[in-house]
Chain A
Amino acid sequence: MEKNLKKIRTIAILLIAILVSIIAFCGAYFKTSGIWKNRIPDFNYGMELSGMRELRFKLDEEEVEKKVYIDSEGNIAGEVKESESENPGEISLVQDETENSEENNNSEEDNVPEGYTVETRTIKVNEDSAINEENFEKAKRIIQKRLENSTYEYNIRLDGQTGELVIEVPDNEDIQTVESFVTTVGNIQIIDDQNGLVLLDDSGLKNAVATYNNTAEKGYQGYLILTYDKSSAETLKEISNKYVAVPNENNDEGENASESENVDSEESAEAETTINYISIKLDDQTILKTYFGQELPGGTLQIPIGNATTDVDEFSEVYKQVTQIAEILRNESLPLTYKLVSDNYVQSNIDINNNIIKILTAITIAGISLYFIIRYKLNGLKSSIIAIGYIGLLILVVKYTNVIITLNALIALFGVIIINYIFNDKLLQKINGGANVKIAFIHAIKELYFTIIPVCIIAIIFTFMHSTIISSIGMVLFWGLFIQALYDCLLLIVLNEKKD
């Protein structure tokens, strides 16, 4: 009776292994709306196997004539802000917190902040002096850092003569993010919104972090937190004291608004107070126009990005942007400005679904199985079925856990399959030599695991790496070794049928 039960158990395990193999190799088809569809997901291939996006960037050659402030040392200290009044050429500057709008009619010279002169200059996006090999290399290095911290698989090509960059990334990546990593210089400035004078640049920026807040009334709000060094913190403190809402003399009801509130919600306060706004700009793009409600003594500035929302999808998009900005600001700013000139999807020249590859794989597995059957007879057949089941289960796990299959990962996959066959061979050799199955199993497993501990170390370390080409090796090794432990137990049950 017990012997029969063991036989049934063995047959059941072998049938399950065969079923898993069939599902893994052929798929599981179900009829949906009259169409047979495979429910098993495809492999998630890396760019060598699935094709890539080739993004070509050139140096921006644009030049614009602008009115700028020049400080006593001859440096540009900001762009003169054009008046928003009906006269487009008119320049409006706010010199005093209580300044009346009538003073907008003053001459240009009168409106220039003390210590600065106004000049009209032709400003090139990339100054001639900045276009050199040293800056090309620096820009490449910064872009690499930005990409690597975001776990991208990429190739980068730099033309040392022209500075042209070609970046190749997988097609499934967010191309806009990659593009922004290259085209965003990363200059964040706090600007006097009244006149355009730069109050604080990013030279003292120590860190940038993305965070969010969730309240029951407003929902999710993303924040960019900037931390400045000691000297910049002092400047920030001064700015936070100066750029505030000041109650008009004939209106005693004005109150300080809370820090960093959006302009839209402050329309009523604006009527009752004179507000000195600042603009926070990232590469000439205003990300926030605001004023301060309290002094900022610690050198930390919290900038709300986007509007608060209860829609999780909308928020995740906003938060992705905040994280992206923080990533850009954490690294140095680019010494050069690039623009995207072409974006092509280039297919891989390796056809992984090629029938020849499939046939060769099938022949190899069949050949190894045949060797096992000839050499170890029934035990060989059982272990071959279990080994094919192992490959099948490994394929399914890799597909469902979304492991990215790169060429490196394929080598790792090949490696763990070989380890499994070697173990089976060693075990069957011992059993053929007349050893008790359980004892032979314990000996073989001890020998195997003491030998492959270096591979286990590699699997664990590689799995936690940022780079896709490295982590994919680690994940395949990890799953391969983990499933092997499970399959070794099944092998013991199947082989232990007679001799117990």
Chain B
Amino acid sequence: MKIDGVKKIILLGMILLIVAGLVVVALKGFSVALFYKQHEEININVGKEINYKDLKGICDEVFNGKKYEIRMIELFSDSINVRVENTITDEEKNNLINKINEKYETKLEASTLTVNKNANIRIRDLIRPYGKPVCASAITIICYLYLRYRKNEPMKFLYYSFVNIALTELCLASIIAIIRVPVSPLIVNILVLIGVIELLVLTNKKEKELKKA
């Protein structure tokens, strides 16, 4: 297969991007969304209806610069679950409770609240359910494509598709690693979707070739 000048430059750019991505992953790993990595959480029953924006303002002040996530607990919007990157220090816990007491005129005591450690959800546990269906689908699709294009260099098409999809996925993964996009199952699914779309585009192109032939 001949590669012309522009394509050569694009290919070189892609390879450089992948190398850069690999270096970032080797040194710092992927940035994982807070919910999926190890964090600490505290559940606070305020007893009064909580305004999310007010609480966000309080948490911004207390956890200065740290990643955090606020979720409501139960159905009455009077209890919250605050998840914070790494650890919640005693000082942060006290500040949080004091500020909530000030804002909502409550008498919560920091000593009665427990900080729980939440271990990370392992990437392999997230990927686990995909193993069987993705393998089964891939094998079936390869068999179909081989049979469909059996008279038009099927192996070449399969190889070309594989290289294209792999390059695209690796480039996207590198971008995600370099610009520190927090990885979550949603990101993994978007990557899978892009792979499927690319396969459809390649198949469509091949169908047109077949039609012309």
Contact = CB atoms under 8 A, between A and B. Distances in A.
B71 A347 contact: yes
B81 interface: yes
Given A159-B119, A160-B119, A467-B129, A345 B207 contact: no
A454 B196 contact: yes
Contact of A454 (B75, B136, B144): B144
B5 interface: no
A346 B79 CA distance: 10
B121 A157 contact: yes
Contacts of B116: 56
Given A344-B73, A461-B136, A450 B121 contact: no
B129 A457 contact: no
Contacts of A157: 118-121
A465 interface: yes
A440 to B, nearest CB: 14
A408 interface: yes
Contact of A455 (B81, B185, B196): B196
A158 B74 CA distance: 24
A291 interface: no
Given A344-B81, A470-B133, A408 B189 contact: yes
Interface string A192-230: 000000000000000000000000000000000000000
Contacts of B190: 411
Given A347-B71, A347-B72, A349-B69, A415 B130 contact: no
Given A157-B118, A457-B144, A452 B200 contact: yes
Contacts of B128: 144
A345 B129 contact: no
A469 interface: yes
Interface in A154-186: 155-160, 164, 166
Contacts of A148: 129
A379 to B, nearest CB: 22
Per DSSP, are chain B's interface residues mostly helix, strand or loop, or mixed?
helix
Nearest to A155: B121
A56, A346, A411 interface centre (most CB from chain B within 10 Å): A346
Highest count of chain B CB atoms <10 Å: which of A164, A166, A347, A348 = A347
A353 interface: no
Contact of A462 (B75, B137, B203): B137
What class of interface size applies to chain A in its complex with B? Answer: 35 or more
Given A457-B144, A461-B137, A465-B133, A408 B185 contact: yes
Q: Which of A345, A461, A469 has the most CB of B within 10 A?
A: A461
Contacts of A455: 196, 200
Contacts of B141: 454, 457-458
Contacts of B120: 157
Nearest to A148: B129
A454 B203 contact: yes
Given A469-B129, A470-B130, A458 B75 contact: no
Contacts of A344: 43, 73-74, 81
A35 to B, nearest CB: 21
Contacts of A458: 133, 137, 141, 196
B106 interface: no
A301 interface: no
Given A159-B117, A453-B144, A462-B137, A407 B129 contact: no
Contacts of A465: 129, 132-133
Interface of B: 43, 69-75, 81, 116-121, 125, 128-130, 132-133, 136-137, 140-141, 144-145, 148, 185-186, 189-190, 193, 196-197, 199-200, 203-204, 207-208, 211
6 contacts: A157-B119, A345-B75, A408-B185, A457-B137, A462-B133, A465-B129
